[in-house]
């Protein structure tokens, strides 16, 4: 790893630490930094309302933002590398939409009420959507990156329509799912991570395992095979990693858009195309983007809040348009 890349990763960690601090301190009720540090160290008075806000509400919210942002950033980096498509992400490949449709269907049919019950349905829906998008993108045995993006976008549109139809068919389903579908870190305790952490850790291990081979895949399937890379196995492992990371993130926070698309692009501009450096960068950059968007959502209409999924969609839509235009060129 070059000295410049090491320096940028260290700077990224400093920015991430700043975002974590701001996430604990800012919101509809601002808390002094001294109180934040006292609350984290246990020196603050438990009866102090500011201490209760930090420990009871903002610490879980910040931890979830850290975990979900890292999962989405890593999923986006692996998806783009495995498909050789700069527009690939859990959102554009239909993975988020598949997980959302499965969760809403489970709420409608099985009357689920708690986020901890959603996880396995999110994984199943994400996996089926990923397989469907991959099948639509095959051409003469090879994977067509353009067809993958188009197929994923069409699949996401269809699944989103079906999800909306289910919610309109049942007021109970609408009330239960609409807050989750917006994408939010608020109102969720750390207990929602318990069933998801094994999936996220397995997805991260698989992502790290395939990272060296993604540099060879960037040369094309034939060149990668000539270098001894088992293309089909690497792509299947990478797809499983993306599904596990994206499904775990969606199960916790809902379908948050564009973090998985923006983080790899921003990191690639700073760190280059080597996936061995890009993946750690996305594990840092994803949480930075998500936590910054969450803090912005708390402040922009203060004392009310905008859900983080709304903020990322609002900021990410122009980015997607710019990337699509560059890719077309």
Question: What six digits make up the tokens of 165?
Answer: 């139809």
Residue 49 lies inside a defined structural domain of this protein:
no
Give 142's strand partners: 139
CA-CA distance, 113 to 129, in Å (whole number)? Answer: 24
CA 45 to chain centre: 36
Residue 310 lies inside a defined structural domain of this protein:
yes
Residue 114 lies inside a defined structural domain of this protein:
yes
Residue 9 lies inside a defined structural domain of this protein:
yes
pLDDT the model gives residue 187: 77
Give 143's strand partners: 138
Question: What six digits make up the tokens of 124?
Answer: 């199943």
CA-CA distance, 23 to 54, in Å (whole number)? Answer: 10
Beta strands per DSSP E along 168-308:
none
pLDDT the model gives residue 152: 82
Beta strands per DSSP E along 19-88:
none
Helix axes 59-83, 231-253, angle to 10 degrees: 150
Residue 24 lies inside a defined structural domain of this protein:
no
Sole residue written with tokens 């990410």: 316
pLDDT the model gives residue 61: 93
Residue 29 lies inside a defined structural domain of this protein:
no
Q: Residue 208 maps to which CATH number?
A: 1.10.3470.10
pLDDT the model gives residue 133: 82
CA-CA distance, 271 to 274, in Å (whole number)? Answer: 8
Residue 169 lies inside a defined structural domain of this protein:
yes
Nearest to 20 by CA among 294, 312, 315, 251: 294
Structural domain boundaries enclosing 109: 3-14+60-328
CA-CA distance, 27 to 24, in Å (whole number)? Answer: 8
Question: What six digits make up the tokens of 177?
Answer: 């799912």
Contact yes or no for 125/98 (Cβ under 8 A)? yes
What string of pLDDT tens digits covers the 329 residues of the chain? 688 899 999 999 999 999 999 999 998 888 888 888 888 887 767 777 888 888 888 999 999 999 999 999 999 999 999 888 887 888 878 888 898 899 899 888 888 777 677 778 888 888 888 888 878 877 665 666 667 777 888 888 899 899 989 888 888 888 777 777 888 888 778 888 888 899 899 999 999 999 999 998 888 878 888 888 888 889 889 988 998 998 889 888 888 888 998 899 889 989 998 999 999 999 999 999 999 999 999 999 888 888 898 898 888 777 767 766 665 54
What's the total number of domains in the chain? 1
pTM of the model: 0.89
pLDDT the model gives residue 1: 66
Contact yes or no for 126/101 (Cβ under 8 A)? no
């Amino acid at each position: 790893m070059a000295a410049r890349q090491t320096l940028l990763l260290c700077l990224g960690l400093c920015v991430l630490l700043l975002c974590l601090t701001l996430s604990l301190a800012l919101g509809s009720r601002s808390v002094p930094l001294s109180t934040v540090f006292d609350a984290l160290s246990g020196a603050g008075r438990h009866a102090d309302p500011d201490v209760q806000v930090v420990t009871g509400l903002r610490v879980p919210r910040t931890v979830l933002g850290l975990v979900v942002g890292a999962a989405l950033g890593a999923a986006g980096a692996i998806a783009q590398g495995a498909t050789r498509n700069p527009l690939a992400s859990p959102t554009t490949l239909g993975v988020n939409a598949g997980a959302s449709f499965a969760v809403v269907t489970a709420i409608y049919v099985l009357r689920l009420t708690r986020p901890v019950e959603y996880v396995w349905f999110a994984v199943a829906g994400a996996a089926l959507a990923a397989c469907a998008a991959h099948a639509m993108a095959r051409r003469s045995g090879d994977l067509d990156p353009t067809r993958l993006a188009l197929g994923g976008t069409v699949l996401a549109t269809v699944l989103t329509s079906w999800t909306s139809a289910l919610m309109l068919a049942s007021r109970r389903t609408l009330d239960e799912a609409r807050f989750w579908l917006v994408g939010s870190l608020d109102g969720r305790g750390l207990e929602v991570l318990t069933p998801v952490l094994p999936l996220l850790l397995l997805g991260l291990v698989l992502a790290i395992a395939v990272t060296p081979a993604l540099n060879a895949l960037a040369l094309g399937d034939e060149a990668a095979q000539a270098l001894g890379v088992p293309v089909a196995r690497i792509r299947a492992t990478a797809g499983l990693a993306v599904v596990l990371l994206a499904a775990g993130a969606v199960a916790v926070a809902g379908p948050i858009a564009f973090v998985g698309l923006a983080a790899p692009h921003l990191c690639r501009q700073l760190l280059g195309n080597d996936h061995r450096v890009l993946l750690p960068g996305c594990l840092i950059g994803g949480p930075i983007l998500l936590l910054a968007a969450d803090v912005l959502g708390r402040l922009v209409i203060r004392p009310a809040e905008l859900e983080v999924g709304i903020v990322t969609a609002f900021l990410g839509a122009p980015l997607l348009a710019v990337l699509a235009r560059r890719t077309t060129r």
